[in-house]
A and B are shown apart, each in its own frame.
Chain A
Amino acid sequence: MTDSTTLPEIFQGRIDSEEKIEPRDWMPDAYRKTLIRQISQHAHSEIVGQLPEGNWITRAPSLRRKAILLAKVQDEAGHGLYLYSAAETLGISREQMLEQLHSGKAKYSSIFNYPTLTWADIGAIGWLVDSAAIINQIPLCRCSYGPYARAMVRICKEESFHQRQGYELLMTLCQGSEEQKAMAQDAINRWWWPSVMMFGPGDANSTHSAQSMQWKIKRNSNDELRQKFVDQAVPQAEYLGLTLPDPDLKWNEARGHYDFGEIDWDEFYQVVGGNGPCNHERISARIKAHEDGAWVREAALAYADKQRQRARKAAA
């Protein structure tokens, strides 16, 4: 390293040689902003993602299923926490992030704006939504920003049970009565396309991709990851005896991948833009939970203050 090396050169040099960037390192403003946006949106998704599943905890069909679902939803809360902490290392406060979520300024994954109508939806979410999340998240374990990468390693370790419990739930339904199998099929019909959309706009329309690739925040293109998801889901659906709702889905020998139909991007942008079936309900539930919890935070602080004063008096 010579004296003439500039900070931006040191920064990009680190990234090119696969070294991590850590909170106290110099970094370009745009890198910081991109990460804050991405990590906080990711955190919000984990937190809001608890709501559609939490909806079924009290109605789980057995104690075993209830304990599993409770544990999964609890994990998602933990994921949100790890990610909020990672974002905080970049200089944004938890309070600011929550404010952005509650005011609608910050986005979260639009998949969570769909309703969970039947018990089979819990299986569909675990199988499809958590599978898609895992495919998105594995490359993030190697993200150039240290705290984000470390949070992702922790999260990925926890995700695989989510996916498997969902698939097992659907297996059970599919081996059950005709009605149960029909319920599973109906859930897949509704969750398939929103899951395919989870990878975001196609590469041609993805706005932040090139820069994020150069910064190694992102390692694979949206379409690459989407293809991986589809290729993996088809044989899994076949095993269940369920049909994925896409008449254009077929093996392409030449490509070595499954071809699939046109995505309804109108629907995607409608839901992202706030007009999904549950956008309003999700945010209201979040705000209510936060406000209902205010007294707990205040009481904890008051108690801590009192303890400190007592300790001071005892020492005097």
Chain B
Amino acid sequence: MPDKIGRLPLWEVFIRGKRGLDHKHAGSIHAADGEQALQYARDPYPRRNEGCSIWVVKSADIIASQFEDNDSLFDPAIDKMIYRHPTFYDVPEDLKL
């Protein structure tokens, strides 16, 4: 009998560890819809007070950069970024700049 679990879409789970922190990727979960994904995520992930807020996002809805695009996406930044750092500038040491 072909099973239906393959049809339960995959969701990515993000947890806010505590107030003042960003939501952080915790893992993923299969569920029929967003409501159920929230409930299922609630079960294993914040079991030991590890969170105060959960986001779930359908994995298929995430647009991710591709490894092949890495050169165009990230390499230019490596060449040009030195003047974006404070250490690029020579200024008098004792002025507390």
Residue numbers of A with Cβ under 8 A of B are 24-26, 74-75, 77-78, 81-82, 85, 88, 93-95, 98, 150-151, 154, 158, 290-291, 294, 297-298, 300-301, 303-304, 307-308
Within 8 A of A (CB), among B1-36: 1, 3-8, 10, 27-33, 36
A78 touches B47 (CB 8 A): yes
> A144 CA to B7 CA in the complex, in Å?
30
In the complex, are the beta carbons of A304 and B44 less than 8 A apart?
Answer: no
Q: Chain A residues with Cβ under 8 A from B94's Cβ?
A: none
A78, B44: Cβ atoms under 8 Å? yes
A25, A82, A291 — most chain B CB neighbours (10 Å): A82
Task: Add 9 more A-B contacts to A300-B31, A304-B33 (CB < 8 A).
Answer: A24-B66, A24-B67, A85-B28, A85-B29, A93-B6, A151-B27, A297-B3, A297-B8, A304-B32
A82 neighbours in B (Cβ, 8 Å)? 27, 44
Can you name 27 A-B residue pairings with CB atoms under 8 Å?
A: A24-B64, A24-B67, A77-B44, A78-B43, A78-B44, A78-B47, A81-B27, A81-B29, A81-B44, A82-B27, A93-B6, A94-B6, A94-B30, A95-B6, A98-B5, A154-B27, A158-B48, A290-B3, A294-B1, A297-B4, A297-B5, A297-B32, A298-B4, A300-B36, A303-B32, A304-B32, A307-B33
Interchain CB contact under 8 A, A300 and B27: no
On chain B, the residues within 8 Å of A88 by CB distance are 10, 28
Dominant secondary structure at the A interface: helix
Main secondary structure of the interface of B (DSSP, over half): loop
**Residues of B in contact with A, size category:** 20 to 34
Q: Does B27 contact A95, Cβ atoms closer than 8 Å?
A: no
Q: Nearest chain B CB to A93's CB is how many angstroms away?
A: 6
> Which residue of B4, B7, B29, B67 is within 8 Å of A26 (Cβ)?
B67
Q: Complex: how many Å from CA A304 to CA B29?
A: 16
| B4: nearest chain-A partner, CB-CB | A297
Check if B32 sits within 8 Å of A301, measured CB to CB: yes
B3 touching A301, Cβ below 8 Å: no
Write out the residue numbers on chain B whose beta carbons fall within 8 Å of the beta carbon of A294.
1, 3-4
